[in-house]
A and B are shown apart, each in its own frame.
Chain A
């Protein structure tokens, strides 16, 4: 499983590199998709169909209007004359495809979820909406949405197809019900779920400490920082561990012991098991408990909010914590604004005995663009997605002049990235820095990163935005590329029937148990009681359901 994923990622990386070196810089007016050749990573698509490829970017025969249920917050970045509904990006795609985009309504966050439910209940569907997996299944069962299989196979661009393939088939598979593709899945960058260890390098140097590799190193550094720099211990968060993004989470400590709480995994005998009840998790908890007792971990981590943790980071009271690659964008940017001497470096730590970092991976897709049944042109929808992917890879170069670029300004709020997006861009930029490739080979975000790197090199930390971007990719994302990681993918990320009623209770049990064990208010063996309770209060039933789902 892991090996296939690694090959898939490598192949996609090579494909993208080949793509970039062939393609130009996407000047305005020219077609952004330049070289389809070499973009095939050799993975099969759900319904192989060797129809002739129609033009993925050509205009639709009859002009059509697409009404969209838009998930977008308000912002005032767009200049006068542009709105979320109508801006340079939407106009560009509109003109290219002969399609008009209209927002049926616009909401964000909780409001968006409510709005979708209301729309479904009142039977007033816009042409397209972005929904989650359960809604996708419900809408399919209710016969409300179009089967996109044929349109997809006919009109998807090679670039977008390659992007889907970078998830090793997961994305399209998750949107396929009974063999039919019922929605366009999003693609999240896998790097977002992988925690690195961020450390104040200037403090390490000052105290003469080595760069961290093992868990013992981390412990030593945390203690030293507390003693000598007056910092608090290793930061933690209320969400101790999860299966996705988790700043300040202890995920990598758990995975060091081969424990993957909150995730559905396959154990050595091939059976499906819930990560939180495995014996490895008990071992991990024991270690965390020990660390907490020894004062390695911030005493108050269980009640700290994200804001409070950030406060410690920014004000120089915390020097070591786990976080994703994009920490330099926030809060590390504030940290260096407050203290220009702060040097933050990301490390792959704690390393296991094989010298690699174990980490979990999140679901590549968790949002699906669905098309109302009866809509006359699914073709227009697929082609819009084609454009969106390419434009995002270029970060709107050549298309936006006055509007600041943001992918959320495009018609569909569907993130179409690549699973290996951040790593491959980091690698590409690093190659240029090492002189192994020319700067011209970069485009889109990678080109921007390089520019930021140069800017920051010239005047370190003067332009904070440049520092953030360069640092996030080159210090954060770069270590994630290559083979320094053992990535564990879950086997199931969705929701089963029994979970609807019983999961909240099980989660409460789990969270309380874990916290009490780590904090020391309950003995380690209460873990065993927890496992028993978990199984009898619905866990076993749910496990069986998950097995059934996977077997499908």
Chain B
């Protein structure tokens, strides 16, 4: 390659690199602030003295959150729901998206199904009937209450369907020529070729389950079954003395450092998930599989 092109090449790349670094920096700053806050003393934080490093270093907030075994119980519940719910989501998403990606002439009912699930995604009857349904099915107070109502992640299904459609049609035809039925086609062709998209919807599903707190609060009464976010969001540092007596007041005495620690604790596990999924975001999986 001529020398000038090479120079252009690296200017361009350095430019992107700098831009991306700035952007990353912008995102990193508040995170560092929050971590610093979580390790600072309550009064220093209240005085607004914390910027990017802890002031009056203390692990009080973390100690408070982690010392009770209920934290670990709740953590376990969330892990369980992520695994169970994530699995159900995965299976349903991957299988449902396949027939929906077929052409109308091949599978006439697809348009009906498509709009049916879009409708189900857009409309809901509100909190009360939803609760009544779950209750009538005797799902409350079990892990299934946290896992089943969200079994079909419609947004993910539509996303994956779109991706399947983007795969070269020749692949599907080659499979038929080889005598593979829909299931085999799905399992051995579509899924392996859709790794980036599947990784994406898996990420969404995991994050969704991990962050969910409202259903845990409404559908589960047994204290040993509440998921992490539900537990942690209701966790309050009891005031020093019996001062403001009313429960509302107690909640308002929010401690900044404590809230920051809560965020760090729930964010940490997620930090580990993404890199794990990132290795699936790789190009060129369709390379060479079909001769034109």
Question: Does A pair with B?
Answer: yes
Set of chain B residues within 8 Å of A108, measured between Cβ atoms: 234, 236, 247, 251
Set of chain A residues within 8 Å of B244, measured between Cβ atoms: 192, 326, 329
Is A105 within 8 A of B234, CB to CB? no
Say yes or no for A124: interface residue by CB 8 A criterion. Answer: yes
Stretch at the interface among A168-176, A196-204, A465-473: A465-473
Say yes or no for B235: interface residue by CB 8 A criterion. Answer: yes
How far in angstroms is the closest Cβ of chain A from B74? 9
Is A104 within 8 A of B70, CB to CB? no
Chain B minimum-CB-distance residue to A126: B221
Say yes or no for A83: interface residue by CB 8 A criterion. Answer: yes
Q: Which residue of B44, B241, B246 contacts A468 across the interface (Cβ within 8 Å)?
A: B241
The 8 A CB mask of B253-270 against A (1 = contact, 0 = none) is 110100000000000000
Chain B minimum-CB-distance residue to A83: B223
Interface contact tally, CB-CB below 8 A: 135
Is A326 within 8 A of B243, CB to CB? yes
A49, B73: Cα distance in complex, Å:
52
Is B242 within 8 A of A395, CB to CB? yes
Q: Which residue of B217, B236, B237 contacts A107 across the interface (Cβ within 8 Å)?
A: B217
Is A338 within 8 A of B44, CB to CB? yes
Set of chain A residues within 8 Å of B240, measured between Cβ atoms: 329, 333, 464-465, 468
Set of chain B residues within 8 Å of A472, measured between Cβ atoms: 243
Is B246 within 8 A of A118, CB to CB? no
Q: Which residue of A124, A245, A334, A407 contacts B242 across the interface (Cβ within 8 Å)?
A: A407
The 8 A CB mask of A305-341 against B (1 = contact, 0 = none) is 0110011001100000000001001110111011000
Set of chain B residues within 8 Å of A338, measured between Cβ atoms: 43-44, 47
Is A104 within 8 A of B221, CB to CB? yes
Given the interface pairs A118-B128, A122-B132, A334-B43, the reply to whether A76 lies near B241 with Cβ below 8 Å is no
Is B131 within 8 A of A315, CB to CB? no
Set of chain B residues within 8 Å of A413, measured between Cβ atoms: 247
Given the interface pairs A73-B236, A108-B234, A306-B252, the reply to whether A406 lies near B242 with Cβ below 8 Å is yes
Given the interface pairs A75-B238, A114-B218, the reply to whether A330 lies near B253 with Cβ below 8 Å is yes
Set of chain A residues within 8 Å of B64, measured between Cβ atoms: 76
Say yes or no for B239: interface residue by CB 8 A criterion. Answer: yes
Set of chain A residues within 8 Å of B41, measured between Cβ atoms: 337
Q: How many residues of A contact B (CB 8 A)?
A: 60
The 8 A CB mask of B57-91 against A (1 = contact, 0 = none) is 00000001101111100000000000000000000
Is A311 within 8 A of B47, CB to CB? yes
Say yes or no for B127: interface residue by CB 8 A criterion. Answer: yes
How far in angstroms is the closest Cβ of chain B from A405? 7
A415, B242: Cα distance in complex, Å:
12
Say yes or no for A111: interface residue by CB 8 A criterion. Answer: yes
How far in angstroms is the closest Cβ of chain B from A163? 13
Is A405 within 8 A of B242, CB to CB? yes
Which residue, of B218, B223, B240, B243, has the highest number of chain A Cβ atoms within 10 A?
B243
Q: Which residue of A111, A118, A330 contacts B239 across the interface (Cβ within 8 Å)?
A: A330
Set of chain B residues within 8 Å of A468, measured between Cβ atoms: 240-241, 243
How far in angstroms is the closest Cβ of chain A from B265? 13
How far in angstroms is the closest Cβ of chain B from A469? 5
Is A75 within 8 A of B237, CB to CB? yes
Is A311 within 8 A of B48, CB to CB? yes
Set of chain A residues within 8 Å of B238, measured between Cβ atoms: 75, 77, 404, 406
Given the interface pairs A104-B221, A408-B250, the reply to whether A75 lies near B236 with Cβ below 8 Å is yes
Say yes or no for B178: interface residue by CB 8 A criterion. Answer: no
Say yes or no for B245: interface residue by CB 8 A criterion. Answer: yes
Is A310 within 8 A of B46, CB to CB? yes
Chain A minimum-CB-distance residue to B129: A121
Set of chain B residues within 8 Å of A117, measured between Cβ atoms: 128
Set of chain B residues within 8 Å of A103, measured between Cβ atoms: 221
Restricting to A77-118, which residues have a CB under 8 Å from any CB of B?
A: 77, 80, 83, 85, 103-109, 111, 114-115, 117-118
Say yes or no for A188: interface residue by CB 8 A criterion. Answer: yes
Q: Which residue of B49, B127, B249 contacts A118 across the interface (Cβ within 8 Å)?
A: B127
Set of chain A residues within 8 Å of B165, measured between Cβ atoms: none
Is B247 within 8 A of A465, CB to CB? no
Say yes or no for A71: interface residue by CB 8 A criterion. Answer: yes
A523, B141: Cα distance in complex, Å:
58
Is A122 within 8 A of B131, CB to CB? yes
Q: Which residue of B223, B235, B248 contacts A75 across the interface (Cβ within 8 Å)?
A: B235
How far in angstroms is the closest Cβ of chain B from A225? 18
Is B243 within 8 A of A73, CB to CB? no
Chain B minimum-CB-distance residue to A417: B245
Set of chain B residues within 8 Å of A75, measured between Cβ atoms: 235-238
Say yes or no for B53: interface residue by CB 8 A criterion. Answer: no
Chain A minimum-CB-distance residue to B255: A330
Set of chain B residues within 8 Å of A329, measured between Cβ atoms: 239-241, 243-244, 253
Chain B minimum-CB-distance residue to A245: B249
Say yes or no for A74: interface residue by CB 8 A criterion. Answer: yes
A329, B244: Cα distance in complex, Å:
8
How far in angstroms is the closest Cβ of chain B from A400? 12
Say yes or no for A411: interface residue by CB 8 A criterion. Answer: no
Set of chain A residues within 8 Å of B127, measured between Cβ atoms: 114, 118
How far in angstroms is the closest Cβ of chain A from B227? 13
Is B68 within 8 A of A121, CB to CB? no
How far in angstroms is the closest Cβ of chain A from B63? 9
Set of chain B residues within 8 Å of A121, measured between Cβ atoms: 128, 131-132
Set of chain B residues within 8 Å of A333, measured between Cβ atoms: 43, 240
A315, B48: Cα distance in complex, Å:
7
The 8 A CB mask of A391-402 against B (1 = contact, 0 = none) is 000010000000
Set of chain B residues within 8 Å of A335, measured between Cβ atoms: 43
Say yes or no for B110: interface residue by CB 8 A criterion. Answer: no
Chain B minimum-CB-distance residue to A70: B221
Given the interface pairs A315-B47, A315-B49, A329-B240, the reply to whether A415 lies near B245 with Cβ below 8 Å is yes
Chain A minimum-CB-distance residue to B235: A74
Set of chain B residues within 8 Å of A330, measured between Cβ atoms: 239, 243, 253
A335, B46: Cα distance in complex, Å:
9
Is B236 within 8 A of A74, CB to CB? yes
What are 8 A-to-B residue pairs whose CB atoms are below 8 Å?
A: A73-B236, A75-B237, A192-B245, A311-B47, A326-B243, A330-B239, A395-B242, A404-B238
